[in-house]
Chain A
Amino acid sequence: MAMTAAALDAAHEGLRAAGIDFVSGLPDGWQRPLHERVELDDDIRYVPVCNEGVGFSICAGAWLGGRKPALIMENSGLRVASEYIARISLGTGVPVTLLCSYRGDVGETEHWGIPHGIVAEPLLDALRIKYLVVRHVEDLAKSIVRAKRISEAQLHPAAVLVSGDCVWED
């Protein structure tokens, strides 16, 4: 199961429209096609990592060097990255756009995704990260643009959680 072809196009379009020029992340089943697409985009520097916390640190460093970064990951990665989000962004105010698969959202088919869904939104609230849950493909591109926009305005991460029709065609 991966994001739909339409969602893939919309996510890529959203990243480009938002001016994202630096992406780090750890691929998951849903957003794997987006990692593959971004890796081939000559306008975006793609940095794969084996740990979302390291990915966040790399994005923060890239922002300090003038890039516009996004971190693409499963929502389980939010838990891994949360230590560095707290240290870097709550402590110093560094913006990174977060694009997360929303495993465990209503409609989930996998038992292992349930804990990810339970933790994601309370964790984002605890980290004072504003977010949009996107369940319709037509909302995806503009949501990424808006998340990046407020991220830059507040100098703190903002997130998009991707679910619903972006991944399920039932």
Chain B
Amino acid sequence: MALDRYEWLGRLAGRLPDDCLVMSTYIGAVSFEWAHHTEEHHRTAHLGQMGDVIGMAVGLALALPHRRIVCLDGDGSVLMELGQLVAMGEQQPDNLVVFVVDNGVYESIGWSSQGRRPTATAGRVDLAAVAAGCGIPYTVDVTAEDELDAEIELAFSRNVCSFINVRTRPGHSHVRPRRTDGIEDKYRFVRYVERLEGIWITGVPPQDIALMKDRKQ
């Protein structure tokens, strides 16, 4: 039993708290479908790539401990760098919820008459069990739609560092690829965070501009 990716990402997008931030993948089906469901809302950082999505989400969660951070990753990416789960388990940011699209294949590279190339989760690896072994306080392996609904509701009703692995059917994305590159995605997200938090991330801060004017006088 496994879920349809496009459908469950849509359900998650529909229940996303308005004031959260999202760390998502940069390219590939998860990114494209999430962008489609969220109309490319700038609260999502489409900046994570194979092996670094959860790590970046941990950093973001530690930087903004008052803000709920949602992370979207894929099984191939998590498997590439399991050390991210160690860091998440060690730090246990209670404002971080990770959802993994675990379809057991490397979807985005294409396939042939031999089928799709499997990831290790198609074999013996259980990512939720690995995450639990790394010390992440709440981990679950979701295999049915009603389970996912309950897990989404639970995740957004409390502050517990959580790892939600969603067993997902392989399937080609039917939405169009995103058009922006990482530079544009970064600025979109950074400007959104600056407005949301009232902070200054890039450029010369206002207080320094005032100092520069003072020096010229």
**Chain A contact residues, CB within 8 Å of chain B:** 22, 24, 45, 47-51, 53-54, 56-67, 69, 83-84, 87-88, 91-94, 152, 155
Contact = CB atoms under 8 A, between A and B. Distances in A.
Contacts of B39: none
Nearest to A61: B59
A83 B81 CA distance: 11
Interface of B: 23, 26, 45, 47, 49-52, 54-64, 67, 81, 83-84, 86-87, 90-91, 181-183, 185-186, 189-190, 193-194, 197, 199-202
A61 B55 contact: yes
B52 A67 contact: no
Nearest to A49: B87
Contacts of A64: 45, 47, 56, 59-60, 63, 186, 189-190, 193, 201
Nearest to B47: A92
A64 B200 CA distance: 10
21 contacts: A48-B90, A50-B83, A51-B83, A53-B51, A57-B51, A58-B56, A59-B59, A60-B52, A61-B59, A61-B60, A64-B59, A65-B59, A65-B62, A66-B199, A83-B51, A84-B51, A84-B55, A87-B50, A88-B56, A91-B26, A92-B47
Contacts of A65: 59-60, 62-64, 67, 193
A62 B52 contact: no
A54 B201 contact: no
